[in-house]
Amino acid sequence: MFAILANRTYRHLFGAQIVALIGTGLATVALGLLAFALAGENAGIVLGTALAIKMIANVAIAPVAAAFAERVPRRAMLVTLDVVRAGVAVFLPFVTEIWQVYVLIFVLQSASASFTPTFQATIPDILPDEREYTRALSLSRLAYDLESVVSPLLAAALLTVITFNSLFAGTALGFLASALLVLSVRLPSPRPSEPRGIYDRTTRGIRIYLKTPRLRGLLAINLAAAAAGAMVIVNTVVLVQGRFGLGQQDTALALTAFGAGSMLAAFALPSLLDRFPERPVMLWAATIAATLMAAGALMPDFPALLALWLAVGAAYSAALTPSGRLLRRSAHPEDRPAVFAAQFALSHACWLVTYPLVGWLGASAGLGAAFFVMALVGALGVATALRVWPREDPEVLAHTHDDLDPDHPHIAGARATAHGHRHSHAYVIDAHHVSWPA
């Protein structure tokens, strides 16, 4: 898996991802402490609102940012967004009103919602070999999981010698280091062959996504994964400290178990995906996640929770980590930022549904009901994916064009039939293929 780090461009981008993630993790800890300093016992309301703002920015901004990504060199865009994020982090220690937190969080997350899909869409251009790209996806998953463990520990260590406001300086340094690493390499910036209007550029990713059967299946799997993930993130503290009467360290241990399961799956996935297609791997993982949610309603004690969260983490990672392979296969290089932005926005829309739903159910109907409903949501996602994602999903499809002139370059060499010109190639939604062939 680590052999791909021999690629200098990828190595620098992976380093940029790691330092930016650590900076983001420090900001998460500092933001909670800042909310308490400003709002006291109402800090939960402030944080809840900030999380909602983050999700709204993710859903609304990513497709709009993708519309401009094709007009700007990717390296310049990524560096600029890192600098914007660093600037917001510098301002956060000086806020004195809660509304200022909300404004800065919206700006910060808008920059992240623009940065992340563009960054993700660049990796398959750097690593065109699918085996190498699969290992890059697993490394990325490991980076996210390690950040969730390392950042709180690093923050705790730093807080013994500095104030929480100084953690935002670490965040700014992380983003600036990311910008320098991106600046140190040359990045491809594929451009469309024809100019596109603002509406076409803004909606292109969503239209390609929703017209591609495998990506509609991916959206359904995103819903199943979000159901399980939201249960872990929202209700772990309630389970550990409310139901079992344990402490904060035990809450951290439970979340670590989830991250450990995710990392174990990330290590196993490259060899698994060398042997099996994405569809069965992702469907089985989503099915297991939904089944584990149902089992959670009967969970007797804390050791059982640790085992459950370990398994849920593995299923969650196995369901989502291969997503990049599907997105890469489903768009031309110049359209990938838009398609990755669509995945970013639509997956966060799933979280925007499951976060408040699981929190409200846990508080009003009980944790057993929350587990049961999340199991139903997961089962709905799996059933939908089975229906919309064909079992046979080849990359190359035979299809007929009845809307192109006989001398059009795209159908050069195609076989003329009574219904048009028929040929085969790797099929994606684009200007010449506006719907999926029946």
Pair 84, 111: CB distance under 8 Å: yes
Are 304 and 207 part of one and the same domain?
yes
Q: Which residues of the chain are under the pLDDT cut of 50?
A: none
3-state secondary structure of 110: helix
Are 172 and 230 part of one and the same domain?
no
Pair 331, 207: CB distance under 8 Å: no
| Domain total in the chain | 2
Are 228 and 144 part of one and the same domain?
no
Provide CB contacts within 8 A for 54, sequence distance 6+. 105, 109
Alpha carbon separation from 399 to 315, 335, 404, 426, 430 (Å, rounded) = 36, 21, 13, 11, 14
Pair 138, 264: CB distance under 8 Å: no
Amino acid at 73: P
Q: Tokens at residue 160, please?
A: 């013994």
Predicted confidence at residue 163, as pLDDT, reads: 80
pTM for the full model?
0.88
Pair 402, 420: CB distance under 8 Å: yes
Are 141 and 208 part of one and the same domain?
no
Amino acid at 284: W
Which uninterrupted H or E stretch holds 415?
strand 415-417
Pair 205, 64: CB distance under 8 Å: no
Are 217 and 185 part of one and the same domain?
no
CA distance 133 to 14: 12
- Last residue within a domain, chosen from 138, 162, 189: 189
Predicted confidence at residue 191, as pLDDT, reads: 64
Structural domain including 209 reads 202-390
Whether 196 is in a domain gets the answer no
CA distance 29 to 27: 5
Are 37 and 89 part of one and the same domain?
yes
Are 28 and 163 part of one and the same domain?
yes
The CATH number linked to 279 is 1.20.1250.20
Predicted confidence at residue 189, as pLDDT, reads: 72
Predicted confidence at residue 98, as pLDDT, reads: 85
Whether 1 is in a domain gets the answer no
Are 143 and 222 part of one and the same domain?
no
Whether 421 is in a domain gets the answer no
Alpha carbon separation from 50 to 90, 92, 108 (Å, rounded) = 18, 13, 11
Predicted confidence at residue 62, as pLDDT, reads: 82
- Last residue within a domain, chosen from 143, 168, 189: 189
Are 276 and 370 part of one and the same domain?
yes
Are 258 and 330 part of one and the same domain?
yes
Q: Tokens at residue 272, please?
A: 């698994």
Whether 374 is in a domain gets the answer yes
Predicted confidence at residue 44, as pLDDT, reads: 60
- Cβ burial, residue 332 (10 Å; 0-12/13-18/19+): middle
Nearest by Cα to 320 from 341, 343, 292: 343
Alpha carbon separation from 432 to 28, 405, 408, 429 (Å, rounded) = 45, 12, 11, 8
Predicted confidence at residue 54, as pLDDT, reads: 82
Predicted confidence at residue 109, as pLDDT, reads: 86
Are 308 and 218 part of one and the same domain?
yes
Predicted confidence at residue 47, as pLDDT, reads: 66
Q: What tens digit of pLDDT does each residue of 272-325 get?
A: 999 999 999 999 999 999 999 999 999 899 999 999 999 999 999 999 999 999
Nearest by Cα to 330 from 124, 21, 178: 124
Whether 417 is in a domain gets the answer no
Q: Which residue has the tokens 């809307």?
A: 403
Predicted confidence at residue 255, as pLDDT, reads: 85
